[in-house]
Amino acid sequence: MTNPLFYAKIILFGEYGMIEDSQGLVVPYSFYKGTLKYSDLASEFEKKSNHHLQKYSDYLADLSFSEDFKLDIDHFKADIANGLFFDSNIPQGYGVGSSGALVAAIFEKYSVEKLNPETISKENLKNLKAVFGEMESYFHGKSSGMDPLICYMNLPILIENKENLDKVAIPDGQAGKGAIFLIDSGITGETGPMIQIFFEKMKTEGFRKTLKEEFIRYNNACIESFLKKDMNPFFRNLKKLSHWAYEHFRPMIPESIFNIWKKGLDSNAYYLKLCGSGGGGYILGFTQDYEKAEKMLDGFQKEVIYRF
């Protein structure tokens, strides 16, 4: 029996803001995926992955979860001894959930009580997120559990606040001129140092004030208008959000992206925002005319993820 595939995820809105109780909108991204497999570990990649799983299984063995979320660690360790590895094309350090997919795959395979993502209650969703947070903390120092939750559910999730989240339907994509797309910054980013910078900034009252009064307001307004497919207020707030990030998230914006970020704001041809914690990896782009934006962004590798 083949193991299920777990897709990457993209935080459309809410990066950093969710730490301070903003809304968030996170969607699965099927272009990248990973699955657990067995092999004789002949390749270096497989050998390395298997070795990482061995170390990770020791970490999981020390965690204690309630009966509802228990993992069969003995089974996991036995499979690792039999050549288990995680076969994934999800790029690491790109803000699309490489560790999240791994955590989701392990939970799905080794959880004692099987859950059905389609019928899971709102309360259980919250508890599962907390479990995933503990499981993923091995990779990032501290994790909200959001990435593995999205990868596990394989459904768009609306984060209402720190306490509440729910499954949500996003408007169907259609063949239009507009697009949401990814730009490859050409370098990998590390989540830990970026989050460190954010918490340092949070120590200053001015930054805390503008984050709460401006960033969160624009962010939540973008989510609301996007879900209603109300594109005029969506792009109006998106410009404010992009401009705010250009001013206040400078250290998180890769150098290769500075100029084109500004170019988008000045021309109104497209707007950019961070995809995850920034520092490298992907940057998110939004435009009402992809053909025009594509020409202006010549030389950068791009992937369209949604058309409207």
| Tens of pLDDT, residues 125-157 | 989 999 999 999 998 777 878 889 989 998 899
The per-residue pLDDT string of the chain (308 residues; one tens digit each, 9 = 90 and over) reads: 568 999 999 999 999 998 888 999 999 898 999 999 999 999 999 999 999 999 999 999 999 999 999 999 999 999 999 999 999 999 887 878 789 999 999 999 999 999 988 889 888 898 999 999 999 999 877 787 888 998 999 889 999 987 788 889 888 777 789 999 999 999 988 888 898 999 999 999 999 999 999 999 999 999 999 999 999 999 999 999 999 999 999 999 999 999 999 999 999 999 999 998 899 999 999 999 999 999 999 999 999 999 98
Interval 83-109: pLDDT, tens: 999 999 998 878 787 899 999 999 999
CA-based nearest residue to 70, from 111, 102, 115:
111
CA-based nearest residue to 157, from 127, 117, 130, 194:
117
Contact predicate 284/180, CB 8 Å: yes
Supply the pTM of this predicted model.
0.84
The pair of structure tokens assigned to 229 is 């497919």
Domain positions in the chain are 6-167, 179-307
Q: Which residues contact 123 (CB under 8 A, 6 or more apart)?
A: none
How far apart CA 12 and CA 285 sit, in angstroms, is 10
Contact predicate 209/235, CB 8 Å: no
Neighbours of 74 (CB within 10 A): 11
Contact predicate 152/127, CB 8 Å: no
**Is the CATH number 3.30.230.10 carried by domain 6-167?**
yes
How far apart CA 277 and CA 279 sit, in angstroms, is 7
- What is the topology classification, in CATH, of domain 179-307? Alpha-Beta Plaits (3.30.70)
The pair of structure tokens assigned to 74 is 């003995």
